[in-house]
Amino acid sequence: MNILILGGGGREHALAWAILQNPKCDRLIVAPGNAGIAEIAECATLDIEDGGAVATFAEENAVDFVVIGPEAPLANGVADRLKAAGMLCFGPSEEAARLESSKAFTKAVCDACGAPTAAYAHFTEAGAAKDYVRGKGAPIVVKADGLAAGKGVIVAETVDAAEAAIDEMFGGSFGGAGAEVVIEEFMAGEEASFFVLCDGETVLFLGTAQDHKRIGEGDTGPNTGGMGAYSPAPVMTDAVCARVLTEIVKPTVAEMARRGTPYRGVLYAGLMIEGGAPRLVEYNVRFGDPEAQVLMMRLGGQVLDLLLACAEGRLSEARVNWADDHAMTVVMAAKGYPGAYEKGAVIGGLDALPEDSAHMVFHAGTAERDGKVVAAGGRVLNVTARGASLDDAQGRAYGMIERIDWADAVYRRDIGWRAL
């Protein structure tokens, strides 16, 4: 079959790599793709947030299945548009994607279905928000309501810091995403990511991962899109996973169906685990980036069968075959990230690295210039490895990094420290 993946980051490189291992895939196009994806698939220029343009492109190229990687096209209704054109597509509708695009919506769904999450209040002006913060005290969490590329959340250690964050959000520093603000109770504990596929009815557990959101070693410094990840997450024992399914994910999926907006796609629950009890931090309506890289490394070609079963409403027949293995990915970022970062650094040594089921360098923000790979984004490479233990996977990933010729790369040397 002919498959189109929308997106151009490390997540989409990993999806493309896994899907290509499945013999059902005859032709793979990725839009827009990147320099690493271009080595394994066709790349196309396309406005992926324009559902009409995507549908026309898919028709012209006899595409049988569209896999939507990032959240922006989902929040823009691209899945709805493709479905209306009679196309098979992996990814939730615009209405269902509100589980990521509106924090206030997610909180209301949690209230309706009893899913445990932080206590919160929702504000449309700064004065009332500040009164609430003064009443509650710190630490407290201030969030822009809409999509803000992972940057619209401030964990304030003091009331002053919370008030400054409120001013900043209502002052427009997050654009439209900050027109409404959610203020939440601070949850202590260990964070983990939990992934399921959903076809509107059936929920199929896909796996767990943990990522490192902070730029600095020891999980310090500003938040980023994610500096590394590993799978499985040791904190997600069978007992915790069972509680996440029965207390959080299944009630949410049932509530979405009850509202007439069934959830179809991958549902990524960001969790806080304290004393074995899970609470929801947030939902995402797509695979995590870089969590997808470690999940794809472990799942391989079966991913295509699972995504198809999900899109076709056949998840009740589907099974995930897990090996008893571990994967780790280390993000190499450009100098300056997560602030203003340098572009154009030439990266050498990639051709000499092993590329097999245990070693892959997924490209996140790269471009090709005069036959060379150059840095073209904040997060640039995802150096990913698999092993019989997390230790093995870590050794392989850092062994590859040592052989990459890029002096100014920014990366953490401690990915996996909590688990090791």
Per CB under 6 A, which of residues 276..335 are in contact with ligand AMP?
281-282
For residues 181 and 145, the answer to whether their CB atoms sit within 8 Å is yes
Q: Of these partners, ligand GLY, ligand AMP, none, which one is at the site of residue 141 (CB under 5 to 8 Å by kind)? A: ligand AMP
Measured from the CB atom, the residue of 200 and 278 that comes closer to ligand GLY is 278
191 binds ligand AMP (CB under 6 A): yes
Does residue 297 contact residue 327 with C-beta atoms inside 8 Å?
yes
Question: Rule CB under 6 A: is residue 358 a binding residue for ligand AMP?
Answer: no
Q: By C-beta, is 150 or 300 nearer to ligand GLY?
A: 150
CB within 8 Å of 394: residues ≥ 6 apart = 230, 328, 385, 387, 415, 416, 420
Rule CB under 6 A: is residue 204 a binding residue for ligand AMP? no
Q: How far is CA 225 from CA 36, 180, 270, in A?
A: 20, 22, 14
CA-to-CA separations, 101 to 75, 80, 105, 124, 167, in angstroms, rounded: 6, 16, 8, 17, 22
Query: Could you tell me which of 295, 285, 296, 311 has the C-alpha nearest to residue 1?
Result: 311
In the list ligand GLY, ligand AMP, none, the entry touching 80 (Cβ below 5 to 8 angstroms by class) is: none
H or E element: which one contains 396? Answer: helix 390-402
Amino acid at position 2, single letter: N
36 binds, among ligand AMP, ligand GLY, none (CB under 5 to 8 A by kind): none
In the list ligand GLY, ligand AMP, none, the entry touching 291 (Cβ below 5 to 8 angstroms by class) is ligand GLY
Whose Cβ is closer to ligand AMP: residue 122's or residue 213's? 213
**153 near ligand AMP, judged by CB under 6 A:** yes
Interaction partner, residue 303 (ligand AMP, ligand GLY, none; CB < 5-8 Å by kind): none
Kindly state whether residue 161 participates in binding ligand AMP, applying the rule CB under 6 A.
Answer: no
Residue 77, CA distances (Å) to 71, 84, 277 in order: 10, 11, 35
Q: Does 190 bind ligand AMP (CB under 6 A)?
A: no
Please pick, from the candidates 186, 301, 320, 392, the single residue that binds ligand AMP as defined by CB under 6 A: 186
Q: Which is nearer to ligand GLY, 32 or 150 (CB)?
A: 150
Q: Does 187 help bind ligand AMP (rule: CB under 6 A)?
A: yes
411 and 331 in contact (C-beta within 8 Å)? yes
Measure Cα distances from 169 to 120, 156, 166 in Å. Answer: 17, 13, 5
Three-point CA angle 200, 78, 113, nearest 5°? 35
The 133-152 contact track toward ligand AMP, x by CB under 6 A, reads --------x--------x--
Q: Which is nearer to ligand GLY, 208 or 309 (CB)?
A: 208
Interface residue with ligand AMP among 63, 109, 115, 118 (CB under 6 A) is: 118
Task: Confirm or reject binding of residue 395 to ligand AMP (CB under 6 A).
Answer: no
Query: Does residue 31 touch ligand AMP according to CB under 6 A?
Result: no
Query: In sequence order, what are the residues at sequence separation of 6 or more whose Cβ sits closer than 8 angstroms to the Cβ of residue 306?
Result: 197, 204, 206, 299, 318, 320
50-77 in b/e form (b: 16+ CB < 10 A) is ebeebbebbeeeebbbbbbbbbbbbbbb
Sign of CA dihedral 124, 126, 132, 133: positive
87 binds ligand AMP (CB under 6 A): no
Q: What are the φ/ψ torsions at residue 73 (nearest 5 degrees)?
A: -60, -35
Give me the least distance between CB of 120 and ligand AMP, in Å please: 8
211 binds, among ligand GLY, ligand AMP, none (CB under 5 to 8 A by kind): ligand GLY
Least CB distance from residue 229 to ligand GLY, whole Å?
7
Q: Beta-carbon neighbour count of residue 275 at 10 Å?
A: 6
Binding site for ligand GLY (CB under 6 A): 150, 211, 226, 284, 288-289, 291
Q: Does 184 bind ligand AMP (CB under 6 A)?
A: yes
- The option from ligand GLY, ligand AMP, none interacting with 186 (CB < 5 to 8 A, set by class) reads ligand AMP
β-partners of residue 213 are: none
Our CB check for ligand AMP shows the closer of 218 and 354 to be 218
Please tell me whether residue 213 binds ligand AMP under the rule CB under 6 A: yes
Specify whether the CB–CB gap between 288 and 350 falls below 8 A.
no
CA 233/CA 272 separation, integer angstroms = 12
Nearer to ligand AMP, 184 or 247 (CB): 184
Size of the site for ligand AMP (CB under 6 A): 14
Compute the residue count for the chain.
420
Q: Which residues bind ligand AMP (CB under 6 A)?
A: 118, 141, 150, 153, 155, 184-187, 191, 213, 270, 281-282
